[in-house]
């Protein structure tokens, strides 16, 4: 009998998160859907047609240390193991020039994107070390690889995530745990639509570049990259940042 595999996905209600959930579910994992709003999680699970024997929904604010500790402990108690953690959850906040960038906006972005990713890794790693196996996939961004204007908060937070990914990959590679990140460019999600509206408000829509493929990625294409990094086919990939941007950084 094949051993049950468990994948924990934050930001499971988002455009990319839902596709990541579906990808792991379709490959036989028990999927744990994490997001802020339990009714939305339950709705997403229903729309995806998930058998609740292989899908669990947990409301969680990943920036709250106590909630993260309690939720991860409950997941381990119920399911016995965690094989994959995908830190999809993230926010862009509001774009603006640095001198006009509200500190509260900056702080909230870091609380979710950086502190939340850190807390999830910190609390899931003990399970993976105990198993001597596991894969973590974090979400960077092309915004975390180049200093785009108006993104001092979001962009720098993604630089931090890519850096943390490499720190943890170095520390835990010898424990059977691989840690990598995916850095998308534009992705066809609600987040992209809100970003474009924000850019229009600032009169900067001409700065949008899609790269040589001339289209944003579909969420399923990002989920494919995530699944690859978590799979046995990437068994010797550790500390990498996989750019999935259609060549956007070439321009």
What residues act catalytically?
154
Q: Check the CA dihedral 199-142-156-58 and report its sign.
A: positive
Taking the C-alpha atoms of residue 27 and residue 223, their distance in angstroms, rounded to an integer, is 12
Residues belonging to the chain: 251
DSSP string, the chain: -PPP-EEEEESTTSHHHHHHHHHHHHTTPEEEEEES-HHHHHHHHHHTT--TTSEEEEE--TT-HHHHHHHHHHHHHHHS---EEEE----------GGG--HHHHHHHHIIIIIIHHHHHHHHHHHHHHHT-EEEEEE--GGGTS--TT-HHHHHHHHHHHHHHHHHHHHHGGGTEEEEEEEES-BSSHHHHHHHHHHHHTT-GGG----TT-SPBPHHHHHHHHHHHHSGGGTT--S-EEEESTTGGG-
Taking the C-alpha atoms of residue 45 and residue 43, their distance in angstroms, rounded to an integer, is 5
């Amino acid at each position: 009998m094949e051993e049950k595999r468990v994948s924990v996905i934050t930001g499971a209600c988002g455009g990319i998160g839902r596709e990541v959930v579906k990808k792991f579910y379709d490959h036989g994992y028990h999927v744990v859907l994490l997001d802020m709003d339990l009714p939305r999680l339950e709705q997403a699970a229903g729309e995806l047609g998930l058998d609740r024997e292989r899908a669990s929904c947990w409301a969680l604010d990943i920036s709250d240390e106590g909630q993260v500790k309690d939720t991860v402990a409950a997941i381990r108690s119920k399911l016995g193991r965690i094989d994959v953690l995908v830190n999809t959850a993230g926010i862009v906040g509001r774009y603006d020039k640095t001198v006009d960038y509200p500190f509260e906006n900056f702080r909230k972005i870091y609380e979710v994107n950086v502190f939340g990713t850190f807390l999830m890794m910190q609390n899931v790693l003990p399970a993976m070390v105990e198993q001597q196996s596991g894969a973590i996939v974090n979400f960077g961004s092309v915004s975390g690889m180049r200093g785009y204007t108006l993104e001092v908060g979001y962009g720098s937070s993604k630089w931090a995530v890519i850096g943390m990914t490499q720190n943890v990959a170095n520390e835990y590679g010898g424990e059977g745990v691989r840690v990598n990140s995916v850095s998308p460019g534009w992705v066809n999600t609600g987040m992209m639509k809100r970003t474009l509206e924000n850019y229009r408000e600032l009169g900067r829509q001409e700065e949008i570049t899609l790269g040589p493929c001339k289209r944003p990625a579909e969420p399923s294409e990002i989920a494919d990259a995530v699944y690859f990094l978590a799979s046995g086919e990437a068994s010797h990939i550790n500390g990498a940042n996989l750019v999935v941007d259609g060549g956007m950084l070439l321009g």
